Amino acid sequence: MTRIAVTTWSLEQTAPTDLLPAAAPEGDVRIVRAEVPSPEYSRFLYASVGGDILWTDRLGWTYDRWVEHLARPGVETWVAYDRGTPAGYVELEPQDDGVVEIVYFGLLPAFRGRRIGGHLLSYGAARAWDLADRWAGLTDTKRVWLHTCSKDGEHAMANYQRRGFKLFDTKVEEEDVRATPGPWPGAHPA
């Protein structure tokens, strides 16, 4: 198995006023919360967005593991649709002491470079800041954080920084390269 050095950057916002929203893209782009936990749909989004950038950590999850994760209070999936077609998603997960992680964020390959990503990230970060408004028992959000890595798209870091996220940690680790076919073999050119 091949090993590569992967740099992981962690970024945060520590106040809602840190968020610098992007302009909404032109056309019929809508962002909707997937309120009914659906392992099938969540796995589709995960594999479709992350297939060409080597997201592999959830590929082995069982159906029951997906159900367990999605049923946790405060876990939310927000999906961007371009004229009714899923274009990307952002997944939020509350942690202790008012911290919310943007666990996953990205666009399906066909929708990248169309100014949807900045809008979706802005919307997702805003929903992280008001997460406790939708979930009884959650602490008000005091910090929103995420991570990106050298395997992600070339514009990821710049998008996070333009949205007001500040770097707070950098790590470099060796990682096994596990081939992922995307949502199906040959789905997107490398």
pLDDT digits over 120-136, tens only?
A: 999 999 999 999 999 99
Residue 177 is predicted with a pLDDT of 73
Look up tokens 């970024």; give the residue. Answer: 11
Domain-located, residue 36: yes
Which residue carries 């589709």 as its tokens? 44
* 86 torsion bin: left (phi>0), alpha (psi -120 to 50), beta (else): beta
Flag whether 111 is in a domain. yes
How are the residues of the chain apportioned to helix, strand and coil, as percentages rounded to the nearest 5? 30, 30, 40
| 31 pLDDT tier (thresholds 50, 70, 90) | very high
List the CATH number of the domain containing 36: 3.40.630.30
Show the domain range for 63: 3-176
Mean pLDDT, range 68-77, rounded to an integer: 97
Residue 124 lies in a domain: yes
Least confident of 47-56, 58-67, 76-85, 120-129: 47-56
Whether the per-residue pLDDT at 112 is higher than 80: the answer is yes
In a domain, 184, yes or no: no
pLDDT beyond 50 at 189: no
CB of 117 within 8 A of CB of 159? yes
DSSP-derived secondary structure letter, 54: T
Question: Total domain count for the chain?
Answer: 1
On whether residue 59 sits in a domain, the answer given is yes
Quick check: is 185 in a domain?
no
Is 158 among the domain residues?
yes
Is 117 inside any structural domain?
yes
What mean pLDDT value characterizes the chain? Answer: 92
Confidence of residue 56 (pLDDT cuts 50, 70, 90): confident
**Total-model pTM:** 0.92
